[in-house]
Amino acid sequence: MATVSFNATARDTTGKGAARSLRSRGQVPAVIYGHDRDPQPLSLNARDLDRMLGNIQAESTVIEVTVDGQTSKTLIREIQRHPIKRQILHVDFQALVAGEKVIVSIPIVLIGIPEGVRLEGAVLDQTLRELEIEVDPSNIPDHFELDVTNMVIGDSLHVSDIKLPEGVEVQNDPETSVAVVAAPRAVIEEAPAVEAVEGAPEAAAEPEVIGRGPGDEEEGEGGGEGGGESNKK
């Protein structure tokens, strides 16, 4: 189980205005909730938060959040980001209690080089990258390994082929494909260009649409304090 520590500051103010004020000072509004406790508003250092998130699997890492000398084991349940700037707007932490199971997504790591790839030039395709499980917080694994060394062309491995530690309950369908070894992809010959007819009008070029610009939405905070794009991590 991966665990990291993070210091946070309790805050008394909530709402959109308070959230914008925090962000202007390099802070990120957050909240800890769960287990019959009142939601506790927090303030996080934005730089420290970015550094931590860059080094962990946010969905499955237990974060020991310390506030005023008291530490709570938590999981990040939601990260809200600005839809354009990708700036973190708000973070939700769920407090954990040993013995009470939680549902988390754990990365699947493929081990080895398939025989079909090594000897026949086949292609390995990982069709499922995370396994959703229910587990006690004290037993959350860092990742699951699946050995693909003996796979040849046409072989596939499924969720049911992953070896699970005791106490882990998979939420995915056991028959869901995880890895497939396929024959080499055929090279598609480029079709010859059609010669332009002299005197024919040229087709108008269509503009490339990159994305819709931001509206007049006000950046806000989770738990009813505003908008922004919400991402699970």
φ, ψ of residue 161 to 5 degrees: the values are -85, -10
Whether 102 shows a pLDDT value over 70: the answer reads yes
Q: Are residues 88 and 14 in the same domain?
A: yes
Q: Are residues 22 and 85 in the same domain?
A: yes
> What is the predicted pLDDT for the residue at 209?
28
pLDDT tens string 22-36: 999 999 999 999 877
Counting residues of the chain whose pLDDT is more than 90, the rounded percentage is: 58
Range of the domain at 130: 103-182
Looking at 56, 77, 97, which one is the last position of a domain?
97
Question: Is the overall model pTM greater than 0.75, yes or no?
Answer: no
Q: Are residues 153 and 85 in the same domain?
A: no
